[in-house]
Amino acid sequence: MRIERLLEELEKKSGLKREEIMKKIERKINELDNLITVEGAIYLVARELGIELPSERRRVTISSIVPGMRRVSFIGRVFKISRVVEFGVGRKGKVVNLYIGDSTGYVKVPLWNEQVNFVNQKKITVGSLVQIINGYAKEGIYGEVEVSLGRLGMLKVLETENPEIPTAEELSQRFSSFERAKIKDVKPGNFEIVGFIVKIFKADYVYKSDGEKMMIIPTLIDDGTGDIRVSFFRELAETLAGTSVDELEKIEEEKRKSFLEEKLLGKEIIVEGRVKKNEMYDRLEMIATNIKPFNPTEESYKLVEELENE
């Protein structure tokens, strides 16, 4: 098993006992609010200890990229480009995210500041075939695998087509579509669920990092067949709460949970998101990517269709 091999290597190179290593891994996962895999946490702990762990071969398929891998190189096609976001006060920055896929999976590649010109100047568009060289893989705030270019990484637009890489339309359909499912039936992948918010977990609802301020709302949603932890971030969290991160920040920290509970508990919503397995707690969790308004009439028609098809 790959995780066991990595733990053995970390034990040997660090001189630490397995119990101490596991405590460090658990702390790292808790630091990142459980939004990282055990394997990714092992790589991050190793990095903090100044230890280089073996990674996959230099050129990889996207599905084999895991958080913590260094010098990652792969070829894929851009199937989605986010809007350009500006942030910071005084010394401002900007970022745009590329979603790049191959036949096995997809990753998010953020472009920062001057790199944004790749998109602004149309050097990269949806459908572009690109090569990432010497990237660094980590787990993003939304639970997706993210590959950063950093100082040593490079992005190259390829002129020669590769028939093994699906089209942007095929990749978008595969990785951006959401199947409606009951919570008891969800598995890792993209799903749409309908349920009631039955719990708001305690958290730092106003999160600050690198000068950026964002709202985070971790919830528990129940649909009668089961429940699942669903986390909302940034603009989506603000939409759910019906308030901005600046307004929430004005509320005393110890009163923010009760404020959100009063607005959200018992609310029925439709959520699209990415379901993944939390290895540490052996449970499925969802990172929300979209909220849809609940329309009782439309949902009634869907229920009738389901019953007719059974």
The predicted pLDDT at position 251 comes to: 94
Phi and psi at residue 274, to the nearest 5°: -100, 120
pLDDT for 119 equals: 93
Average pLDDT, rounded, for the chain = 85
CB atoms within 10 A of CB 125: 12
Per-residue pLDDT of the chain in tens (310 residues, 90 and over written 9):
668 888 898 899 999 999 999 998 888 777 765 555 677 778 778 878 888 776 544 457 888 888 888 888 999 999 999 888 877 655 678 889 999 999 888 999 999 988 999 999 999 999 999 999 889 998 776 667 899 998 778 899 998 888 889 999 999 888 877 889 999 999 988 899 999 999 999 988 998 765 678 899 999 999 999 999 999 988 889 999 999 999 999 999 999 999 999 999 999 999 998 898 888 888 999 999 889 876 665 555 555 555 555 5
Q: Which residues contact 220 (CB under 8 A, 6 or more apart)?
A: 197, 198, 199, 201, 227, 228, 229, 230
Per the CB < 8 A criterion, the answer to whether 172 and 79 are in contact is: yes
φ/ψ (deg, to 5) at 308 = -70, -30
CATH architecture, domain defined by 178-309:
Beta Barrel (2.40)
DSSP 134-193: EEEEEE-TTS-EEEE-TTT-EEEE--S--TTSPPHHHHHHHHH--EE--GGG--SEEEEE
Which pLDDT score is estimated for 175? 81
Residue 78 confidence (pLDDT): 97
Cα 220 from Cα 231, distance rounded (Å): 8
pLDDT of residue 89: 58
Selection from 156, 164, 58, 160 nearest residue 103 by Cα: 164
* DSSP type of residue 139: E
Evaluate the CA torsion angle 180, 273, 231, 278 in order and state its sign. positive
pLDDT of residue 32: 61
- How far lies 83's CA from each of 19, 112, 119, in Å? 44, 13, 10
What integer pLDDT is reported at residue 90 of this predicted model?
58
Query: Closest Cα to residue 171, out of 98, 258, 256, 243?
Result: 98
Q: What pLDDT digit, counting tens, does each position of 132-181 carry?
A: 988 999 877 666 789 999 877 889 999 888 888 999 999 988 887 788 99
Q: Give this prediction's pTM.
A: 0.55
Determine the Cα angle at 37 with ends 185 and 192, to 5°.
Answer: 30
Say whether domain 57-177 belongs to CATH 2.40.50.140: yes
- 304, with CB counted inside 10 A (0-12, 13-18, 19+), is exposed
| CATH 2.40.50.140 residue ranges for the chain | 57-177, 178-309
